[in-house]
Chains A and B, each alone.
Chain A
Amino acid sequence: MKKLNCLKSYQMSRVGVAVAVAAAVFMAGCASTPPTPAPTEQMAVSRAAVNNASSAGGNEFAPVQLRSAMEKMDAAERAMGEKDYARARLLSEEALVDARLAETTARSAKAQKAAEALQEDNRVLRKELDRKAQ
């Protein structure tokens, strides 16, 4: 029986190897997030972007986006504190695009304001000249 068992165990061990290999393949294929290093650089870039958006007038022209960026940045800082680096990376990446969107929105709003002011000036000027010409 021992021999049979041994034989059996041998056979079983072959099956076990196969299962182990399959499990390894499975593990590798299904691994959602490999352990990540601290996204220090990403955090710095995102923080700078949030600051830029703030100083570019995002508070006035894109308050929703800027607040979203700030909240995500705060959350990312917390995740960093908890060493949940994957979450920190995700949050900081989103904070970055939010901040950039806020900044771009602020800049485009300012540019549009300037263009409108100039166009209004031109309208006034033309009206003035037309009246003078008459």
Chain B
Amino acid sequence: MQKNQYFPLALIAVAILSGCSTSSPPQNAALTAAHSSYNSARSNPNVTSLAALELKEAGDTLIKADDAFNKAQDAATVDHLAYIANQQVGIAQETAKRKAAELAVANASAERNRTLLEARTAEADAAKRQAAISQNTAEQQAAELAVADAKAQRDRASLEAKTAEAEAARQQAVIAQQTAEQQAAALADARAKAERDQALIAQQEMQLKELNAKKTERGLVITLGDVLFNINKAQLKSGGIRNVQKLADFLKQYPKHVVLVEGHTDSTGSDSLNQELSERRANAVRTALIDKGIGGDRVATRGYGEAYPIAGNDTSAGRQLNRRVEIILSDSNGNIAPR
């Protein structure tokens, strides 16, 4: 009986348990769909970063739905919460899309600015390049000008060098010509001189021949014979004066020559007389030469009397030869070998 008393209680408990366990299937379709879309949204990094708040709201709602489902609340409630969670996931996804689009708008503005900046940079670069090209062109032209200039200068220098060469050649030619002329002139001079010398020598020889000059060891000796003097006198006859004239002419032509006039006699008469006579005759010749314009310093005199005969005094012819005046002609330096 006691046992039977508890039986209805157990029945009631069973009834309670069976009443509380919902008759819905263990899985709710709407809740499963909400989970699925929530998980897909959560795996989208855009949604988790841009719509974190919205996603969290969806998650919270989903927990409530799960809770309702686990607590076996009625299907309508679970469906309702699952529906809201699903829509909230959609809101989160759309929010993420909106923010991404807004970011894209901002980025587009930035990119537009960047593009414009790049364009301006490109324009500036192009202008700079253009300027550089212009400068290069100018530099090139300047370089070309410089090259042309240098070439002109080189040509000018070459021309000058050639002109100088031509000038030098001309000068050389002139010098050669002058030299030739000089040489020719010198040659002509020499020839003329030689001719003159020859003529002079010829003339000299002729004159000396006319003076009866004789070549001796002491040089040329001109003898004025006794016949040209008056007997025992120191006066020259006209023939003697002519001879003296010729000698004077000769001495005028050869001013470097000097003469020594020596008087000689024969052995007749006293020595003193002969000495005096010889001296006087020599002086007479000297005086005559001076009269003809010869300087006295070029004419020296000696009287030797009868000391140096050239022939025997035993015949009248010999004596006549011994009575004489000898004129010794010096060399061109004025030297006369002493007797």
Using a CB–CB distance below 8 Å, which chain A residues touch chain B?
Answer: 11, 15, 18-19, 22, 25-26, 29-30, 32, 90, 93-94, 97-98, 100-101, 104-105, 107-108, 111-112, 114-115, 118-119, 121-122, 125-126, 129, 132-133
Contacts and interface: CB of A to CB of B under 8 A. Distances in A.
| A100, A101, A132, most chain B CB atoms within 10 A | A101
A116 to B, nearest CB: 8
A107 B9 CA distance: 61
Given A105-B94, A118-B105, A26 B115 contact: no
| A19, A98, A104, A119, most chain B CB atoms within 10 A | A104
A101 B115 CA distance: 36
Main secondary structure of the interface of B (DSSP, over half): helix
Given A97-B84, A122-B111, A115 B104 contact: yes
Contacts of B5: 11, 15
B98 interface: yes
7 contacts: A101-B94, A107-B94, A118-B112, A119-B104, A121-B108, A122-B112, A125-B112
A101 B108 contact: no
A65 to B, nearest CB: 8
B16 to A, nearest CB: 5
B97 interface: yes
B90 interface: yes
Interface of B: 5, 8-9, 12-13, 16, 19-20, 73-74, 76, 80, 83-84, 87-88, 90-91, 94-95, 97-99, 101-102, 104-105, 108-109, 111-112, 115-116, 118-119, 122, 126
A79 B71 CA distance: 27
B97 A97 contact: no
A71 to B, nearest CB: 14
Contacts of B115: 122, 125-126, 129
Nearest to A125: B115
A26 B112 contact: no
Contacts of A112: 97-98, 101, 104
Given A22-B16, A118-B108, A125-B115, A93 B80 contact: yes
B98 A94 contact: no
Given A104-B95, A129-B122, 4 more contacts: A25-B16, A107-B94, A108-B101, A112-B98
